[in-house]
Chain A
Amino acid sequence: MAAYKPVVVQACPKLGERITQDTLYWRGYKTPVQIKEFGAVNKIDFSPAPPYNYAVTASSRIHIYGRYSQEPIKTFSRFREAAYCATYRDDGRLLAAGSEEGSVCLFDVGGKAPLRQFEGHTKPVHVVGFLSDKYRIFSGGDDYSSALWDIPSASEIISYSEHTDYVRCGCASKVNADVFITGSYDHTVKLFDARTKSSVLTIEHGHPVESVLLFPSGGLLVSAGGRYVKVWDVLKGGQLLVSLKNHHKTVTCLCLNSSGQRLLSGSLDRHVKIYSTTSYKVVHSFNYATSILSLALSPEDETIVVGMTNGVLNVKHRKPEEKNENSQKKRQPAYRTYMKGRTYMPKQEDFCVSKPVKRVLRKYDKLLRSFESSKALDAVLEPPIMLHTPEVTVAVMQELHRRGTLRSALAGRDEKQVNLLLTFVARRVIEPRFTPVLVTVADMITDIYHPVVGQSAVVDKQFLKLKEAVGKEIDYQEELLEVLGMMDALFATFTKKRDTSLEENKSNGVTEIIETNRSY
């Protein structure tokens, strides 16, 4: 003897992106805060020390923002022309920046005027950075050279002129105080050791290098240039590990998250892509309004700050984690009785009587089991079900149709209910997975209620809406068929051999059904 079988609700694969842990994690940000800067934001750098202020370099100014401040808490504006690449030292107390006139400036975070100014570059300096010993600064400029500066003496230690084009990006190793890398528009990334007079390693990226990044371990190097992000193994002498081509415009900036598990890349194509550093697959991506120039992630991924070409700074804060204390509290008083006997382990001679599993039926299933068609339909026309899980509503309608009681379930409804029904049908009839059932439903509704058309303005309006929706869909299908015809012709000229290379158009049948339904 079989038990009652509940209605099968057709699950259909969710189109679009799949929900993973990553999507949940990266979606957990609030709506962004937009701050207007004076020019294109070329660099954003988070202070490594709490309270994690961040320095934003745009035009001729360096703004320092607090974590939640919308106004800069400090501004360095002593630059005559554009400033570049304001970078914090590891302790968060010094800030270095390059400038258009070729000098490298060192600021105290608390002060206003530069502490030091390193002169030596003849062209604008686009990249500066602290070596991990904290006492040296490296820089790269448009004069193709990169230099190393001593902070206490404000003198140049060494200068390398190995690049053959502008040096636009660089990064210091965190594990070795003498090692830094620079990327240049001559398509190469060079690794320098301050102890030697020439570069140690040259990596051919193949495109003008816009951004470089070293992994915290210092073993892997990421370079971005053109549409490519490439990962290299430094320890193996610069062997290409993986080449990622997920952007369709130049990739401008790179960033690692705090755990080092995810790599973020921003591009002129307005996307930020997040890669897993184990599989190098894109696990999530963000869309922005304009092309992205710079990108930074605060420690613990609290804040994502993105700088755009139009000078807008986009700041996203993570949502505070929700705590479900309420649900725990509810259970507490009953805990003892609830747990009574739970911990008892059956002994060998004990005869275990298993509790029969109680099958929980949904409300509409209970009603269908007792053959109450109208009530079952009412149950699935309730707003939560109708809005969020339309497939349940359609499945019950289909079941009723299968039982031959759909007509009687639809009949005898008042204005409000008919309105509800028609709203649902008009909205969902164009969805291909619901079309076959809802066309039948629409047919029946028009059959049943055509004598009362004209008596209620609300219902009439819904009928008109339905007609409009169906008309639109027919036009759309016709267009699709035209496109299909064109493509068929194209394919026929390309491939002669394969007779049926195209999957048949799934919506073919749909059009035919709808056409019969035109006469409203």
Chain B
Amino acid sequence: MVAEDALRVVRCGGSALRGARAVFSADSKQVGLGAGAAALGGYLLCASGDFVKVYSVNTEETLRLMGGHADLVTGIQLNPHNHMQLYSSSLDGTIKLWDFMDGILIKTFSVGSKLLALYTVASAEDSVFVVIPKKGERDTFQLVSVKLTKGAGQDLESKELSVVLDGVGASMKHIAFGREGAYVGSVEGVNLQVYFFKQKLLNRFSLSTVKTKGGDNRFSCVMCHPTEDCIATGHADGKIRLWRNFHHKKEYTYSTLHWHHDIVMDLAFSVEGTRLLSGGVESVLVQWHNESSCQKDFLPRLGSPIEYISMSSDGTLCCTLHTDNRITIINSNLRFSRSIQGLIKSRDVKTGLVVDPRTKALVLNGEPGHLQFYSLQSDQQLFSLDIVQRQYIHEAGLKQSDLVKVAFSAQGTWLATVEESEEVTDPELQLKLWFYHEEAQSFQLNTRINTPHDNHITDMCFRDMDELGDDSIILVTTGRDCVFKVWVMVEDTDPEAQQSVSWTCDFVGSYHNYQATNCCFSEDGSLLAVSFEETVTVWDSLTWDLKCTFCHPPGNIRKICFGRLTCSKYLIGATDYGFLCCWNLLTCALEWSAHLNVVVLQPDPLSEHIAAVSWLSKESSLFVFKPNEPRPVYIQRNLCKEKILLAAFVPRDEPEMISSEKYLWLRKSQLFFLTDTQELMTLSTKSLEERLTPSSKQLAVEESLPVTPFSLLLGKHRRQQAQEDTDLGKPIVHNKQEQASPAVKELLHTPAHVLPSASFLCTIFINSLLISKENKSAEEVADEVEMESEKAEDDSDEEDVTAMEQEDTSHVELLGEMTCKLSKSQEKELRKIRKMDYSWISAF
């Protein structure tokens, strides 16, 4: 344990996968049998923030995280000359060459300027193409080829640049290389440039800039046909144009395909070039056959807008990268295969970070209208719960209804969700209560309440009481309609009703017609604190009487929480005027207050500690304190540059050993926080290397045979045989007599020309068969064991016999009466057979 080490902020998930197109590893194993796609043991490489992630296509698992770049990775390409190597480019100005099977950084080439995209071409020896900003000009980029210097060291300088094209787009989608690297196409604005390397010819084509009716001619992406001279371009108005004959400046032609109603985000050709895939914000993958607009297939409802499309080199799989950080892998016949999803990026995390008490997963907004359960250990989405249960339509300007509040009961048996439409004046509110169904292992809708409040719901909490059982569960919601409501569970009296309980409103409380902003139950559930603008009111949860009020003017209350365990007599409140106050509930007086602009106030459920994150002058600072002493236990200034929006304590499975007094608050739970760029971070005492070690285990080259239907059948048959054997009470013998008996084994394995005559062998053979059948169990076990010993030392006959005798005696002990059944004569015969068996071996 690195106790002396400073606490470091560690990024633990949720970073954007959107840096570049994903790349399938070109696997040498081509499994062309029936179960081809499923059995294709390949890797999917993906740029994710500063890292390159390696996923297994089969298991969707993150196998490796390759870190080394200091800034966003902008492009990854396989080394065309070695398919086990990967080039990656980054904004930090380096190109790195990796062995992604072992996660080893082979070489680093520093180019010296920001790299915005990376392309490799098989025909270009020792050079790759990158997009760099043009020197001296802002927002102008050029495509250059970089000569990768050969050298012994790991860090090399590659300054040998030659400009190929000027005025290209910054995105990697704006440039595409033609078949065998013969030409390069680049789009920018309404211009298409094609440069032919051999002829050194540059052709420019322009579309009219005039926006026709509803049309927007700007190019959005470009892709080249793998075998023909054909360029496909996507446009902002949803059209796809297929350019041909672009060798000529004038006689070029293009045809138009139009299905998308909005911008075409990416295009991809199949390996043979017969199919063209396109995707856009509609989240529909469209497959065009033979470049004709009449024949097309769709894969609809992929969940979120498609950002990138990439094809595997053998053409069996294709994958789409979505704007919400999801990767979908799609079969060649346009069937959804599987999806890899980490922390799904939603536009706005309104629900906050909530921890599911059952799975310890982090719960927050997922795809629109869904709640994602994100496992912190595996950096994967456990499942996504559809809350809104409505068809999501991707269209700009539509008012979507989305999830805004989530609360779990202490045991995780109840989940309350609030959804509202985006309309400001008349939010369409729904409060839903979900019950965890043990058999189905998922949440099922129990009660739906339309318009629980007349205005937006600001906060919601359950009364957390472990010991009092189910009846004590109470839900409190606060709303901008100046009331808080108490919801209780009622049992349905009608025996024929489908469910035994439902929820209903029990009490409506208000305070001087102020908007209710926050609510919180004390640890024992006896008190409810509700903040109304500037005032915190404390209510008795049994009689719903107002007990006392606190306020710290000026400034509205932003967050409130009760102290826990030994500090349960304190109530903490943060005002938006920059004060953190602690009130004593026994004396009803202010205990202490501090001047701190608290954005996040998060109590640890397992200890007295409370974490407060402040936001001051463009940096977030973390303060951890106990309510009974105003001096913080721990301060970390400049936690991160981005604004921290949300935080949550996640209980550890087992308390971590932390020797340092300073970090004792991290013993029982771990603090996670989410920044406004949607990166999930945590605080860790371990160093980066330590954290990475478990994940950087050796990649097992998947040697196991693919699971074909035939192998399945065979395996099943074998298993069944084994089953039958055990059923009959026999010990399992692998391959019956032929191999179990050494005589037969030798008979079969010895070359025919060295064998004695068949007549001599015949008796041995028959005898061995006869005896082993007469005394099944003991004989066969003996045979087997004997086989092993025979392998070890098969030179001497005598030794073997003695060894076998030993074995036999041991078996007598082991098997008891079973071997007692062996008659003396049989035993004798057996031994005789043994001797006979090996006499002929010693002969040669």
Residue of B nearest to A509 (CB): B454
* Least CB distance, A309 to chain B, in whole angstroms: 35
Q: Are B299 and A1 in contact (CB under 8 A)?
A: yes
Closest chain B CB from A407 CB (angstroms) = 14
B428 to chain A: closest residue by CB: A436
Which of B398, B483, B496, B505 touches A402 (beta carbons < 8 Å)? B398
Q: Which residues of B contact A368 (CB under 8 A)?
A: 391
1/0 contact string of B716-732 vs chain A (CB within 8 Å): 10001000000000000
Cβ–Cβ contact A5 & B391, under 8 A = yes
Q: How far is the CA of A404 from the CA of B421 in the complex (A)?
A: 13
The answer to whether the Cβ of A3 comes within 8 Å of any Cβ in the partner chain is yes
Q: Is the CB of B496 within 8 A of A20?
A: yes
- How far apart are B540's CB and chain A's nearest CB, in angstroms? 13
Is the C-beta of A80 less than 8 angstroms from some C-beta in chain B?
no
Q: Give chain A residues whose Cβ lies under 8 Å from the Cβ of B494.
A: 18
Q: Does B510 contact A (CB under 8 A)?
A: yes
A34-74: which residues lie under 8 A (CB-CB) from chain B?
A: none
The residues of B that contact A497 with a CB separation of less than 8 Å are 545
Which residues in B have their C-beta under 8 angstroms from that of A18? 494, 496
* A 393-434 contacts with B by CB, 8 A: 399, 402-404
CB contact under 8 A between A402 and B399, given known A1-B303, A10-B450, A500-B510:
yes
Chain A contacts for B450, CB-based, 8 A: 10
Are B483 and A500 closer than 8 Å at their CB atoms? yes
Task: For B509, give its contact among A8, A500, A504 (CB under 8 Å).
Answer: A500
In the assembled complex, the Cα of A14 lies from the Cα of B716 at a distance in Å of 55
A457 within 8 A of B: no
Complex contact B390–A8 (CB within 8 A): yes
Q: Name the distance in Å between A11's Cβ and chain B's nearest Cβ.
A: 9
* Chain A residues, Cβ within 8 Å of B339: 1
- Report whether B505 and A503 are in contact in the complex, using a CB–CB cutoff of 8 Å: yes
Q: Which residues of B, 294-317, contact A by the 8 Å Cβ criterion?
A: 299, 301-303
Distance between Cα atoms of A211 and B294 in the complex (Å): 84
Task: Answer whether residue B794 sits at the interface, using C-beta atoms and an 8 A cutoff.
Answer: no
Residues in A whose Cβ lies below 8 Å from that of B716? 349
Residues of B within 8 A of A5 (CB): 386, 389-391
From known contacts A18-B494, A20-B496, A404-B398, infer whether A503 and B391 are also in contact, taking CB-CB under 8 Å: no
- Report yes or no: A1 in contact with B508, Cβ–Cβ below 8 A: no
Q: Is the CB of B302 within 8 A of A503?
A: no
Q: Quick one: CB contact mask for B311-334 with A, threshold 8 Å, 1 for yes?
A: 000000000000000001000000
How many Å from the CB of B372 to the closest CB on chain A? Answer: 14
Query: With an 8 A cutoff between CB atoms, is A2 at the interface?
Result: yes
| Bound-complex Cα distance A4 to B451 (A) | 26
Q: Which residue of A lies closest to B330 (CB)?
A: A1
Interfacial chain A residues near B395, Cβ < 8 Å: 403-404
Which single residue of chain B is at the shortest CB-CB distance from A13?
B502
Kindly supply a per-residue 1/0 record for chain B positions 483-507, scoring 1 wherever the CB is within 8 Å of any chain A CB and 0 otherwise.
1000000000010100000000100
| Tier of interface size on chain A | 20 to 34
B243 at interface, CB cutoff 8 A: no
B151 within 8 A of A: no
Q: Does A325 contact B (CB under 8 A)?
A: no
B720 touches A402 (CB 8 A): no
- A499 at interface by CB-CB < 8 Å: yes
* Across-interface contacts of A10 in B (CB, < 8 A): 450
CB under 8 Å from chain A, chain B span 378-417? 386, 389-391, 393, 395, 397-399, 401
Contact A1 B328 (CB under 8 A): yes
Q: Is the CB of A349 within 8 A of B391?
A: no
A493-520 contact mask (Cβ, 8 Å, vs B): 1 or 0: 0000101100110001100000000000
Q: Is A2 a contact partner of B303 (Cβ separation < 8 A)?
A: yes
Give the complex CA separation of A402 and B450 in angstroms: 16
Whether A504 contacts B336 by the Cβ 8 Å rule is no
Per-position 1/0 for A12-33, Cβ under 8 A of B: 0000001010000000000000
Cβ A500 vs Cβ B508 within 8 A: yes
**Smallest CB–CB gap between B310 and chain A, Å?**
18
Within 8 A of A (CB), among B689-724: 716, 720
Chain B residues, Cβ within 8 Å of A369: 391
* B391 and A4 within 8 A (CB): yes
Closest Cβ of chain A to B480, distance in Å, is: 14
- Cα–Cα, bound, A500→B513 (Å): 11
Residue of B at shortest CB range from A365? B391
A8 to B401, CA, bound (A): 14
Residues of A within 8 A of B454 (CB): 504, 508-509
Among B301, B398, B483, point to the contact of A4 (Cβ < 8 A). B301
Knowing A368-B391, A404-B397, the reply to whether A1 touches B301 (Cβ < 8 A) is yes
Q: Is the CB of A1 within 8 A of B336?
A: yes
Measured in the bound complex, the distance between the Cα atoms of B302 and A497 in whole Å is 56
Across-interface contacts of B505 in A (CB, < 8 A): 503
Q: For B389, B391, B454, which residue has the most chain A Cβ atoms within 10 angstroms?
A: B391
Closest to B712 in A: A351
- Cα A20 to Cα B494 in complex, Å, equals 10
Bound form: Cα–Cα A500–B505 in Å: 13
State which of B301, B328, B389, B508 has its C-beta within 8 Å of the C-beta of A3.
Answer: B301
Q: How far is the CB of B45 from chain A (nearest CB, A)?
A: 23
Q: Are B390 and A402 in contact (CB under 8 A)?
A: yes
> Which residues of A have CB within 8 Å of B302?
1
Determine how close the nearest CB of chain B comes to the CB of A488; give it in whole angstroms: 14
Please indicate the chain B residues that have their CB under 8 angstroms from the CB of A20 in the complex. 496
> Chain A 424-465 against B: per-residue CB contact (8 Å), 1 yes, 0 no?
000000000000100000000000000000000000000000
- B367's nearest neighbour on chain A, judged by CB, is A2
Nearest chain B CB to A99 CB, angstrom units: 49
Residues on B with C-beta less than 8 A from A436 are 426
Q: What residues on A are CB-neighbors of B397 within 8 Å?
A: 404
> Considering only CB atoms, which chain B residue lies closest to A508 in the complex?
B454
Measured CB to CB, the nearest residue on chain A to B481 is A504
CA distance A307 to B510 in the complex (A): 56
Chain B residues near A402 (CB-CB < 8 A): 390, 398-399, 401, 421
Q: Is the CB of B303 within 8 A of A8?
A: no
Interface flags, A472-505, vs B, CB<8A=1, else 0: 0000000000000000000000000101100110
**Closest chain B residue to A498 by CB distance?**
B544
Chain A residues with Cβ below 8 Å from B421 are: 402
Q: Which residues 446-501 of B have a CB within 8 angstroms of A? A: 450-451, 454, 483, 494, 496
Of A1, A399, A503, A509, most buried by chain B (CB within 10 Å of CB) is: A1
- Tell me the complex Cα distance, A349–B545, Å: 67
Cα A206 to Cα B301 with chains together (Å): 72
Would you call A499 and B390 a contact (CB within 8 A)? no
In-complex Cβ contact of A403 among B398, B483, B545 (8 A): B398
B656 to chain A, nearest CB (A): 39
Complex Cα spacing A503 to B505, Å: 9
In angstroms, Cα B117 to Cα A132, docked, is 105
- Could you say which residues of chain B place their CB within 8 Å of the CB of A509? 451, 454
- Which residue of chain B has the shortest Cβ distance to A11 in the bound complex? B448
Contact B389 A8, beta carbon cutoff 8 Å: yes
User: Which residues of the partner chain B approach A4 to less than 8 Å between Cβ atoms?
Assistant: 301, 391
Indicate if the CB atoms of B398 and A503 lie closer than 8 Å. no
Residue of B nearest to A500 (CB): B508
Question: How far, in whole Å, are A503 and B451 apart by their CA atoms in the complex?
Answer: 14
Inter-chain CA distance A127–B473, complex, in Å, is 59
B390 cross-chain contacts in A, Cβ below 8 A = 5, 7-8, 399, 402
* Nearest CB in chain A to that of B512: its residue: A499
Q: Which of A185-241 contact B (CB under 8 A)?
A: none
3 tightest Cβ-Cβ pairs between the two chains A and B: A1-B336, A5-B391, A500-B508
Q: Given A8-B389, A399-B390, A404-B398, list of 5 further CB < 8 A pairs?
A: A1-B336, A20-B496, A403-B395, A503-B508, A504-B508
**A–B Cβ pairs within 8 angstroms, 22 of them:** A1-B301, A1-B302, A1-B303, A1-B328, A2-B301, A2-B386, A4-B301, A5-B386, A5-B389, A7-B390, A7-B391, A10-B450, A368-B391, A402-B399, A403-B398, A436-B426, A500-B483, A503-B508, A504-B454, A504-B508, A508-B454, A509-B454
Q: Which residues of A contact B (CB under 8 A)?
A: 1-5, 7-8, 10, 18, 20, 349, 368-369, 399, 402-404, 436, 497, 499-500, 503-504, 508-509
